[in-house]
Structure 1
Amino acid sequence: MIKTDCINFPLDRPCRFHKQNGIKCVSCGHYAPVIPKNIKPYKILIIKLDAMGDVLRTTFLLPGLKKKYPNCKITWVSSASSSEVLKGNPYIEHIWINDKHIFEKLLSEGFNEVINLDLSPASLALASMAAAKKITGYSLNSARQVVSSNHYAKHWLSMSAFDDLKKANKSTYQYWISKITGLKKPDYPIYVPIAADSAVRAGKFAVKHGLNNKLVVGINPGAGKRWKMKRWTASGYLEIINKLHSRGAKVILLGGPEEESIIRKMLKKSRGKAISAGTNNSIPDFFAFINLCDMVITGDTMALHAALGLKKKAVAIFGPTSEPEIEMYGLGPKVVSGLPCVCCYRQTCDKKPDCMNSIKPGILWHVIEKSLPARPEKK
């Protein structure tokens, strides 16, 4: 008899106890099942690989899980790039990278519960392979069918598959995920770590540019490579920069390498009315620069989730993605295109103007002006 569920058995070769002493399973005293009858403390494996903004906003689950399962231990599986938003999160014991070693890790440690909130083939495969007593969210069965853990998960799956259901949705991502995972409430905060050395660099930037005790507004004009249609117009942002400057605000342009070109052009055309935080920052530094702001103006981006997690006032601009899905935590308004085709989730569009271009600067400024802090928050 081979005890293939033993944590010491590597599956494809003899275990170290057999190699060292020649003993076999029937007489071995080292047997330990990967999934013991009682796993204490309660161990949870979260599978959420991509995208970076989705991974960040899903951190709202963590305080809720800790409240539901006091003293639980949480491991999170993520892509190497998205794992950057999880580093320094006190709710997470271990971060596993989805690399060539992930299968060995999944088969060598048991969990009480796997929470898989992704429908990508990779995530479904990982959830199905994990050694766990319970799978919450999604997995695959032997017939290649997606298995949903409850009716809320089934409805979220349907919204992912059918555009009309996605467009008809009026509830936030946090609502659906809290229902799928059995949390009592959906409004736990997004956790955004601020690294000490990043805070120091941001502080020096603030001193250099005279930001302290000033009203600071961050503008994130990009939306990454995949969702270019989520970008509002550079010309529109320039109008907003002029108006903010006339109100005495300091404007910081926020973005990554993909926004380098647009930020460079905006800096040139703004003629000193805006400054750039740089486009080659680490994720911790990016978060620290957002933390300098009293308000952030952006589309449906990671910067929005980071700003909300840092409890910054925000104005969010929506066109091709779902506006109701975004929880604003009472920190600011949403500006939504009036075109009937909004929430199409298309990555290209031949309409002129498209949904984002249809939002006029005057409309956005009216919303921003009403939401601007009366005075800057203390830095």
Structure 2
Amino acid sequence: MYPILIIKTAALGDVLRTTSILPGLHEAHPASEITWLVAEGAEDLVRLQPLVDRVVTVDLDSPEGLTRVMVELGRTSWKWIISLDEEESLCRLASSLATERLTGACLETGEDGSERAGYTLDSAAWFDMGLTSRLGKEEADRLKRGNSQSHATIFSEMLGINEDQPSLRIPGAAFEAAQIWGTRHGLDGSVTTIGINTGAGGRWKTKGLGEGRTTELIEFLHRELEGEVKFVLLGGPAEAERNRRIMAAFGEDSDSEAIVLDAGTDNDQLTFAAFVDRCDLLITSDSLAMHMAIARSISLVAFFAPTSAVEIDVYGLGEKVISTADDYCSYRPDADNSTITVERLGRAALRTLP
């Protein structure tokens, strides 16, 4: 037995893309038994993974919850702890557990004797670009902008394993819910189905595509495909009002002939993934939906302005449309995304369609 603990709790897209390391870990250590620590609300992204033996959840805002998890995980003598979250509380957790090998985020002791979040030397390729970089924020940002390797490549080299693709298992009940919805709306495979997921949540406004450009993109593709297409509008709770306004542009009182179907914004994660899985192509921001499409091998066009496109490997599934503005990959919430045009997105979509 070779017990491995992965500490990767959030954000949701980061949890999902980290599943790329699972095949390589099992290949390198066939006797491995993998436990994955995730934040409450993220467990569905890993609980059905056949290469994960146990999923432990934690309320990151609860000191009592962190203590409980520390006790629970402390019952195992780990062979390898892979610690991928920079929060000090999780660094403390990783450093407190007995293990033969620790890779990633941990506590460090400063020259003044104080403890702070740090990382092991073998994980510097990733964490040198992060919030806890020993090199300082300016150099970390420069390294991130100059990085030429994907997340999966960096992690496989960091861990000394073969690189693989993220994956996501979807249960039958979620597939059935998406199937029933699709049948009700005539998604019978007779025309192309394009998913539209252009929102961005709340952190980076310009990570997404504006409502105006989204409606123009739908109209562009409707014309180019001569109406032989249906669009599925996707999003989460943060996009509820936004998606409602977009849907209004294609309602009965509009002049548009495009067929746009509202998948809702209150689906659980795996039902949402099943909606993504029904699409022939997904046009998406750098978001959970993008990572789901990659994990499910769905054709996609993903666009990037404030965040790094290089980190994302689409594994030959489609194209990346990247901002040409000076502040690309600046991680600024107001980064210029004006060069992510309808023409660029639409042409990429037409090239990518199966």
Fold-level similarity (TM above 0.5): yes
- Cα deviation for residue 138 of structure 1 reads 2.3
Determine if contact 2:229/2:259 at 8 Å carries over to the other structure: no
**1:46 counterpart residue number:** 6
Letter in 2 for 1:102: V
Q: How far does the alpha carbon of each residue in 1:139-187 deviate from its partner, in whole angstroms, 9 at most, with x for none?
A: 1134335554344x21322212421111011110111111111113x2x
Q: Residue 361 of structure 1: CA displacement? A: 1.0
Give yes or no for the alignment of 1:202 onto 2:193: no
1:260 to 227, 240, 249: 240
Aligned to 1:102, the other structure's residue is in SS state: helix
Aligned to 2:341: 360
Report the alpha carbon displacement of residue 296 of structure 1 after superposing the two structures with TM: 0.5
Aligned with residue 181 of structure 1, among 134, 150, 159 = 159
Residue 127 of structure 2 aligns to which amino acid in structure 1?
L
1:77 aligns with 2:37: yes
What aligned pairs does 1:189-228 form with structure 2 within 5 A after superposition?
189-213=165-189, 214-228=191-205
CA distance in 2, matches of 1:291, 1:316: 16
SS in 2 for 1:75: strand
For 1:121 and 1:174, how far apart are their aligned partners in 2? 24
Q: Structure 1: any 5+ residue segments left out of the alignment?
A: 1-40, 374-379
Amino acid at match of 2:54: H
Q: Secondary structure at the match of 2:90?
A: helix
Is the 1:137–1:181 Cα contact (8 Å) retained in structure 2? no
- Distance in 2, matches of 1:131 and 1:227, equals 38
Number of matched pairs? 325
CA deviation after TM superposition for structure 1 residue 260, in Å: 0.5
Deviation, 1:305, is 0.7
1:98 corresponds to which of 55, 58, 79: 58
- 1:6 corresponds to: none
**C-alpha displacement of 1:295:** 0.7
Distance 2:197 2:346 in 1: 15
Match of 2:213 in 1: 236
Decide whether the 8 Å contact of 1:202 with 1:285 is kept in 2. yes
C-alpha distance in structure 2 between counterparts of 1:180 and 1:312, whole Å: 28
TM-score, structure 2 length as denominator?
Answer: 0.88
| Alpha-carbon distance, 1:202 to partner | 0.7
Offset, 1:311 = 0.5
Work out the CA distance in 2 between the residues paired with 1:70 and 1:183: 12
What do the CA deviations read for 1:224-248 (whole angstroms, capped 9, x no partner)?
2222221112111111211333321
Q: Tell me, in whole angstroms, the C-alpha distance in 2 between the residues paired with 1:173 and 1:122.
A: 24
Aligned AA for 1:230?
A: K
Q: Check conservation: 2:197, 2:285, Cα contact below 8 A.
A: yes
Q: Which runs of 5+ in 2 are unaligned?
A: 60-64, 131-136, 252-257
Give the aligned partner of residue 166 of structure 1: 144
| Deviation sequence 1:184-208 (CA, Å, 0-9, x none) | 3x2x121111111011111111111
Q: When the two structures are superposed, what TM-score results if normalisation uses the length of structure 1?
A: 0.82
* d(CA) in 1 for partners of 2:52, 2:323: 38
SS at match of 2:202: coil
Match of 1:23 in 2: none
The answer to whether structure 1 residue 306 and structure 2 residue 292 are counterparts is yes
Q: Which amino acid aligns with 2:148?
A: K
AA in 2 matched with 1:264: R
1:155 paired to 2:125: yes
Backbone CA RMSD of aligned residues? 1.5
Query: Between the two proteins, what is the percent identity of the paired residues?
Result: 33
Asked if structure 2 preserves the Cα contact closer than 8 Å seen for 1:219 and 1:296, the reply is yes
| Runs of 4+ residues over 3 Å off in structure 1 | 145-151
CA distance, structure 2, for counterparts of residue 296 and residue 130 of structure 1: 42
